Structure 1
Amino acid sequence: MTPEEFRHYGHEVVDWIADYWANLEALPVSPDLRPGEIAARLPERAPETGEDFAAVLADLDRVITPGLTHWQHPAFFGYFPANTSGPSVLGDLVSAGMGVQGMLWSTSPAATEVETVVLDWLADLLDLPARFHSTGTGGGVIQDSASSAALVATLAALHRVSGGAWRRSGVRERYTVYTSTQAHSSIEKAARLAGIGDENVRLVEVDQDFAMRPDALRAALDADRVSGATPALVVATIGTTSTTAIDPLPAIGKICQEYGVWLHVDAAYAGAAAVCPELRWSHAGVEYADSYCFDPHKWLLTGFDCDAFWLADRAELVQTLTVLPEFLRNAATESGEVIDYRDWQVPLGRRFRALKLWFVLRWYGAEGLRAHIRRCVATAQRFAEWVRADERFEVVAPHPFSLVCFRLRGSDGPNEKLLRAVNATGRAFLTHTKVDGRYVLRLAVGAPSTEERHAAATWKLIQATVDTE
């Protein structure tokens, strides 16, 4: 493809995306398909000769779009949001076109230095502790997801607690990890990958608001110490996946300091809320954290993948992960004056993910990002009011952000049936969880195009579905 051909077809692709966004509301949120239907529309073998690009674009409409769940649809209320936006897409396009490798400062200085500065900007916007800034001992880096952030935090915690011995001889001691019963499954997966094992992950009991109980954490730490285990890591959550519960960081942080245990804070979804000063109460105690992460790709208008991960002491992570073969040696690295982000992650290679975040921050500014968060929170609070006004339903958990957990009063069966029926209409998409053993519906507001009218229409659909059953 010549530059001129790229220019021509690139315009057509941008037009296609713009039309897709413009017409999203008219599409069913999720497809009505059986497994294998999309694959059946594709040839059995790759083409022997190149095809006309117009045929590729035509198949976006014929094959791809009918097989999508439309995460940017204004009535997509499932899981957590997976925002993207025009600036983010354009930033990704430029990054893809450059095709640079940012594994070392020397392989593309701009890729490293823009990322460092943008993560400092973002730390300022969230009012994170000064020790997370690159101007001190800490700093930020973009991981692909909060799951990868959990893994590297686990490895760094192991490195610290073992005095680096784990790098030389593997995980021979019995180390333990602590998180709440409501925490994300990535914590358990990280323990597996780090060699700690499932059996050494302690799921700490929660209170009536589904937040970790500090007294239960202390008891678990004491029990493991008595048994000969070495506590390595505590993971606290700001905005758990099921209900957006907020663990009490001030109390947890003090315990971690007392026991000498690494504290990682997972704010994958709810961290974005801290751009709004009135929501920063949720981050009280984050100054105790050794590491912290949140996903701009969830609720901050930046396309997947983009997890912002900060450390209070970057040297600990570099010591944990660095491996320097001869072919990567260079004068800049040897000088000690640069950051090489390959030492901050599991893979060697890394693309220029900071570019899309840079585009987003510059286009929207702090005011635009706050407006987006506030609109989503206000819409969710309004939805919760409608649920409470209908005596057939109940709200089952606090809803400080833009997720509402609710259910029909009574047994699980009608709730399961209700969710299937609503999603089958294609007019909205919700998900479920289990809270206190009960089947619960989740409505998460976050798509960039969602307005209160979309939540209102979904609530009327839910009520009408109940009325007809």
Structure 2
Amino acid sequence: MSPEEFRRHGKQVVDWIADYLAGLESQPVMSQVKPGEIRRALPPEPPEHGEPFEAVLTDLGRILLPGITHWQHPSFFAYFPSNASGPAVLGDLISSGLGVQGMLWVTSPACTELETVVVDWLAGLLDLPARFRTDAAGGGVIQDSASSACLIALLAALHRAGGGQVAAEGVTRRYTMYVSSQTHSSLEKAARIAGLGTAGVRVVDVDPDTLAMDPGHLRALLDEDAAAGVVPVMVCATVGTTSTTAVDPVAALGAVCRERGIWLHVDAAYAGVAAICPELRWLNDGVAEYADSYSTNPHKWLLTNFDCTVLWVGERAPLLGALSIQPEFLRNAATSTGSVVDYRDWQVPLGRRFRALKLWSVIRWYGAEGLRAHIRDGVRLAQDLASWISADPGFEVWEPHPLGLVCFRPLWPGLPAAEADHATMRLMELLNASGSMYMTHTKVAGRVLLRMAIGGVATQRRHVEQAWEHIRWEHAALSASLPGHS
């Protein structure tokens, strides 16, 4: 494809995306296709000869678009937002056009140095401690997702706990990591990958009212493991759990970790970016004093398209000790001086894209003021929704709900718990099948709750109002169809 052909087709692609976003509200939120339908519509063999790009765009609309669940739809409330704003998409396009492979500083100095700047910018916007800056003892790095960030934190913690021997000798002792029942499942996967195994994951009790990790039970488990000769590696505190946005007591957990010399990782994948608003900085209580590492996802709620997770460490030496390998073909003068950052040592893969461009584009386009406005809009709409639900005797809200997620339960008077949960799931299925909205569920204390996550780029008050009215209508209709109701 020549530059002129690229220019012509590139304009067609940008127009296609713009038209897609402009008409998104008219689409059903969830894809309506059946399993295998997309595959059957595509040819089983690749074309022998090249085809015009217009044919690609035609099939994109004809075959693939019906199989898309529209994460950018204003009535997508199912999972945490996966914001894809205009400046982020354009930044990603520039990254693709440059085709940079930023594994080393020398392979594109701008790729590395821009990343050091934007992660420091974001650390400042979130009021994170100075030691997390790349011009201090620690630093930040853009990962693909929070799952990778947690794995990297665990590997660094394991390196420190093992006195630097794990990288050379492997896991030769019994090591443990501490999570709660509300911690993301990626932590257990990280334990498997790192060699701790599922048996090396200890589950700490949570407060039944807040679902926050219990520091007293953590201490008891640590005592129990110490008596058994087990080496504790890391405690993962979550700020904004996936299920209900519960917030673990970072300061109290950190105090325990400090006493025992244990690495504290704070997984703030969803909620962390909200600390860009001064009134939500309480989310970071304890981070400055105790956190060894911290991660959050601009690709959720901060208007930056997937993938873009930022991981910070307070001290980079354990991370580099765990991950740095220097084959001859990567040796170069800049690396040898020790004066540059080589981000290939801060992640599992060698290669890396120029992800910093999209985060840079977003921060410059919106500014701190625009980013705060987006977070505040999501919080305000969620609080409005919670107030409407609370005022309706047919529903109850799960407390607390300080951010953009509202969990709630429809009431089914006279139904046993199991049947009531079945009715709740049926209600959700009817709502999602309608195409007008998409939501998910969770379980708390064995009971099913519905989840509505608000914070999409295009979501406005009217979309939340329409969703709530639809929920009420379907609830009333389903209630009337149940035995004993009319």
TM-score of Structure 1 vs Structure 2, range by shorter chain: over 0.9
Partner of 1:436: 445
Given the alignment of the two structures, is residue 246 of structure 1 paired with residue 247 of structure 2, yes or no? yes
Give the distance between the partners of 1:218 and 1:76, measured in 2 at CA.
Answer: 41
* Distance in 2, Cα, partners of 1:231 & 1:246: 22
SS for the counterpart of 1:106 is coil
Aligned equivalents of 2:168, 2:99: Cα separation in 1: 35
Distance 1:330 1:7 in 2: 37
Q: Which amino acid aligns with 1:164?
A: G
Q: Which runs of 5+ in 1 are unaligned?
A: none
Aligned residues of 2:100 and 2:108 also touching (Cα < 8 A)? yes
Deviation of 1:183 after TM superposition, in Å, equals 0.5
Question: Is the aligned partner of 1:337 residue 2:346?
Answer: no
Please identify runs of 4+ aligned residues in structure 1 that moved more than 2 A.
Answer: none
Q: Aligned partners of 1:219 and 1:342: how far apart in 2?
A: 38
The aligned residue for residue 135 of structure 2 is 135
Alignment of 1:420 with 2:429, yes or no, is yes
The within-5 A match list for 1:43-122 is 43-122=43-122
Shift of 1:356: 0.5
In the alignment, what sits opposite 1:468? 477
Which of 373, 385, 388 is equivalent to 2:387? 385
Residue matched to 1:363: 365
Aligned-partner residue type, residue 355 of structure 2 = R
1:397 pairs with 396, 399, 421, which one? 399
Tell me if the contact between 2:439 and 2:450 (Cα under 8 Å) persists in the aligned partners: yes
TM-superposed deviation, 1:222:
0.8
The question of 1:213 aligning with 2:214 is answered yes
CA displacement 1:163-217 (0-9 Å, x = unmatched): 0111111101000000111000011000000000101101111111000011011
Give distance in 1, aligned partners of 2:411 and 2:469.
Answer: 18
Given residue 308 of structure 1, which amino acid in structure 2 is its aligned partner? V
After TM superposition, list the pairs within 5 Å mapping 1:12-23 onto structure 2: 12-23=12-23
Give the Å deviation of 1:251.
0.5
CA distance in 2, matches of 1:161, 1:336: 25
Q: Distance in 2 between matches of 1:408 and 1:118?
A: 44
Q: Deviations over 1:282-322 (max 9, x none)?
A: 11001110000000000000010000100000122111100
Q: Which deviations, in whole Å up to 9, do the C-alpha atoms of 1:17-59 show, x marking residues without a partner?
A: 0001100111110122210111111111111111111111111
User: 1-side partners of 2:307 and 2:203: how far apart?
Assistant: 28
Amino acid at match of 1:235: C
Matches for 1:258-269 after TM superposition, within 5 Å: 258-269=259-270
Contact 2:410–2:475 under 8 Å retained in 1: no
Q: How much does 1:329 deviate?
A: 0.2
Partners in 2 of 1:453 and 1:220 — Cα distance?
48
Report how far residue 61 of structure 1 moved. Answer: 1.1
What pairs with 1:237-316 in structure 2 (closer than 5 Å)? 237-287=238-288, 288-316=290-318
In 2, the alpha carbon distance for the partners of 1:37 and 1:66 equals: 10
Q: Following the alignment from structure 2 to structure 1, what is the Cα–Cα distance between the partners of residues 321 and 336? A: 15
Classify the secondary structure of the residue corresponding to 1:64. Answer: helix
AA partner of residue 362 (structure 1) = R
The secondary structure found in structure 2 opposite 1:105 is coil
Distance 1:11 1:31 in 2: 27
Tell me the distance in 1 between the aligned counterparts of 2:137 and 2:240.
27
| TM-aligned CA deviation for residue 127 of structure 1 | 0.3
Separation (CA, whole Å) in 2 of partners of 1:450 and 1:29: 13
SS in 1 for 2:310: strand
The one-letter amino acid of 1:466's match is H
- 1:397 to partner: Cα distance: 3.2
Q: Which amino acid aligns with 1:429?
A: Y
2: CA distance between counterparts of 1:167 and 1:468?
Answer: 60
SS at match of 2:210: coil
In the TM superposition, what is the alpha-carbon distance from 1:253 to its structure 2 partner?
0.7
Distance 1:5 1:336 in 2: 43
SS in 2 for 1:458: helix
Indicate the SS of the match to 1:308: strand
- The 5 A counterparts of 1:160-239 are 160-207=160-207, 208-239=209-240
Q: Which runs of 5+ in 2 are unaligned?
A: 413-419, 479-486
User: What is the rounded CA distance, in whole Å, between the counterparts of 2:410 and 2:369 in structure 1?
Assistant: 38
Query: What is the distance in 2 between the residues matched to 1:176 and 1:336?
Result: 33
**Alpha-carbon deviations, 1:408-460, whole Å to 9, x = none?**
12520110000000000000000111111111110000110001110110000
TM-score after normalising by structure 1: 0.99
SS of match in other structure, 1:439: strand
Alignment match, 1:10? 10
The 3-state SS of whatever aligns with 1:366 is helix
Any idea what SS the aligned residue of 1:346 has? coil
Aligned AA for 1:285?
G
Q: Distance in 1 between matches of 2:317 and 2:217?
A: 32
Q: Find the aligned partners of 2:234 and 2:340 in 1 and give their Cα distance.
A: 29
Q: CA deviation at 1:70?
A: 0.2
Q: Which amino acid aligns with 1:441?
A: L
Greater mean alpha carbon deviation, residues 58-67 or residues 112-121: 58-67
CA distance in 2, matches of 1:62, 1:203: 48
TM-score after normalising by structure 2 = 0.96
Please give the alpha-carbon distance, in whole angstroms, between the structure 2 residues aligned to 1:256 and 1:453.
46
Equivalenced residues, count: 469
Sequence identity of aligned pairs in percent?
A: 61
Contact 2:81–2:453 (CA under 8 A) maintained in structure 1: yes
Cα distance in 1 between the residues matched to 2:188 and 2:399: 24
Give the corresponding residue for 2:465.
456
User: Is 1:30 matched up with 2:30?
Assistant: yes
Q: CA separation in 2, counterparts of 1:211 and 1:386?
A: 26
How far, CA to CA, are the matches of 1:143 and 1:462 in structure 2? 37
Paired with 1:388 and 1:106, the residues of 2 have a C-alpha distance of: 57
